[in-house]
Structure 1
């Protein structure tokens, strides 16, 4: 698994940055900052950072920018905006009075389906090979299923508390009935969001296949997201005061989002996707649950429940199965490339003799 070490470490760091971004952004948005204005500021700043740095990083291996590359990055921006719109406005569309415990559980559980959707789309678009006779294909498919199952266990099953946290449990919230039309509508919207998130990874893989300069792709993505969010803001945000970056927490969160959210997190995830494919990257969605649980227990005083432990264990087992399958794929590609080179070497040796 030597060739997967850097992508593995990179995705862990990207998930940590993502968890930090979620915590900080939710705080400033809860205090009244517009989500679309936040996205505009952070992606605009990220574009300014990436404009010189991305072209400098790829100064020696920069392919010519084609119209199809620009269009691909534009659609990446649209998919990212649509995905963000669904997640951020779902509580307004579906749960009219409040976003309670059951809806949050539903959203987290449904988003765990992203690896499954991504695996199916990757197979359909021939970005991943699927053959029941091939041990690596079996390992990747079963590992994906196991990780999704572990994510559902960690999300839906609490069990007794193993470590008691400092924050009081909110036991007064009651789950919504499965017959509630809002619950069903919410599930449909979240399923659509999962498809959009998976489609984003597939389109990104195709763009990188034609234009293998990861950070330039990230620059164009942030650039188009900034433009698209600016257009949306001009339509939906008529209050001039909404553009203010005061208090200081807003400015600091925007800086964090631009540097660690867009430049670092998206850049590293894009590089990992180019190196390993979309299935490997999306497998860190369930792993992100483990990171969130650890941060919640260590830094936020949350309780640690048996369901989190069991779910995390199952996720790790499934994730290791996918890692093993990817390592087998890399080993097989390496052997095939050596096999193609060997006859040439033999012919050269014969000519020298």
Structure 2
């Protein structure tokens, strides 16, 4: 009897450890990897843009590559459930995801061309503030002003927006120069022209902020889609397909010079393939899986990590210098980010203890066990 109890106890411990590994360790490692992948794409695209890659060409080809890559994967692994009817509301929502994704991708590409991957990473911390604000506007989030959790989220949103304004409006002196990397003279000249102009820096920053606003809406819509149809690969394939169908006519109309669409085997082609393979395909699948498993706020939790990665990659591969305004603004952004996260964690813990429903920003978090059972 004791032996059986011991074996049962060991089995239960192994089960708990395995569930913890799948539910916490794997998503954590996946999100860190995605952040590294995203910053790698920013850096590679910036280097290609400095050498003449058009952002319309980049966005269109990236979606084409990702759609072609996901097609066989979707046919093989994405057919566990029947597809919804073409006229259903679900397909409209996925089309909306494609439109939002295209707008975010285009805004981000133009923004990075005019600024830097470091600024893109810093402004990505606006995502939780935007998500919270949108949730309040659409009455998905309850606002109780007497609650410490609500106060923390409001203060965090204000700090995040304030930090973004500091990054955009105050560049300041250099605090870290990339002396150990010296790009070619052509790259230095072009890079200085693009980053020394304050209007271009501000416009680029506003476009990057727009990207993360669109992404916040994307996260909320994607969460709704996954509630109804929890098939990550299929959803991401149709998202990329719709984004491709949108981007091809729009970008061809915007960039009518056919020579811009002719690619050579250089860094431009590498940037497109990398983006299509690792960002719009694998990263999108990982994000969708993470949204289904953990919810939209958990995905946003890893944004501050990207700043350090972007600073290192920008210094090594682009010769970027770090300015005081970026440091101060990033610190304020991170404070605002984690204030929102603290408020969300406190609210979630309080509601769990009271036995009530979780916040709509964590719509999928309460279904972790159900999501795990689908794996």
TM-score, structure 1 normalization: 0.70
The equivalent residue for 1:28 is 48
In 1: Cα distance, 2:51 partner to 2:38 partner:
20
> Is 1:201 matched up with 2:219?
yes
1:20-59 matched pairs, under 5 angstroms: 20-54=40-74, 57=77
In 2: Cα distance, 1:293 partner to 1:174 partner:
20
> Is 1:73 matched up with 2:86?
no
Task: Rate the CA distance shift 1:299–1:128 in 2: closer, same or farther, 3 A.
Answer: farther
Match of 2:84, SS state, is: coil
Task: Rate the CA distance shift 1:254–1:183 in 2: closer, same or farther, 3 A.
Answer: closer
In 2: Cα distance, 1:157 partner to 1:233 partner:
33
- 1:126, CA displacement in angstroms? 4.1
Would you say the 8 A contact 1:37–1:229 is kept in 2? no
- 1:323, CA displacement in angstroms? 3.5
> Is 1:143 matched up with 2:160?
no
In 2: Cα distance, 1:251 partner to 1:184 partner:
28
Would you say the 8 A contact 1:115–1:285 is kept in 2? no
1:256 pairs, out of 274, 291, 295, with 274
1:265-284 matched pairs, under 5 angstroms: 265-282=283-300
2:32 pairs, out of 12, 19, 41, with 12
TM-score, structure 2 normalization: 0.66
- 1:315, CA displacement in angstroms? 3.8
Match of 1:245, SS state, is: coil
Question: Runs of 5+ in structure 2 lacking a partner?
Answer: 1-19, 183-187, 358-375
In 2: Cα distance, 1:323 partner to 1:190 partner:
22
After superposition, what is the alpha-carbon deviation per residue over 1:257-293, rounded to whole angstroms, capped at 9, x for unaligned? 1111111222222233334444444565565444322
Task: Rate the CA distance shift 1:187–1:248 in 2: closer, same or farther, 3 A.
Answer: closer
After superposition, what is the alpha-carbon deviation per residue over 1:128-173, rounded to whole angstroms, capped at 9, x for unaligned? 4433344444433333433444444455445555444326895994
Would you say the 8 A contact 1:162–1:304 is kept in 2? yes
In 1: Cα distance, 2:71 partner to 2:215 partner:
25
The equivalent residue for 2:103 is 82
Task: Rate the CA distance shift 1:10–1:328 in 2: closer, same or farther, 3 A.
Answer: farther
The equivalent residue for 1:293 is 311
Over the aligned positions, Cα root-mean-square deviation in angstroms equals 4.4
The equivalent residue for 1:229 is 247
Would you say the 8 A contact 1:115–1:148 is kept in 2? no
- 1:83, CA displacement in angstroms? 3.5
- 1:186, CA displacement in angstroms? 8.4
Task: Rate the CA distance shift 1:248–1:299 in 2: closer, same or farther, 3 A.
Answer: closer
Would you say the 8 A contact 2:128–2:337 is kept in 1? no
In 1: Cα distance, 2:35 partner to 2:206 partner:
26
- 1:222, CA displacement in angstroms? 0.7
- 1:332, CA displacement in angstroms? 4.9
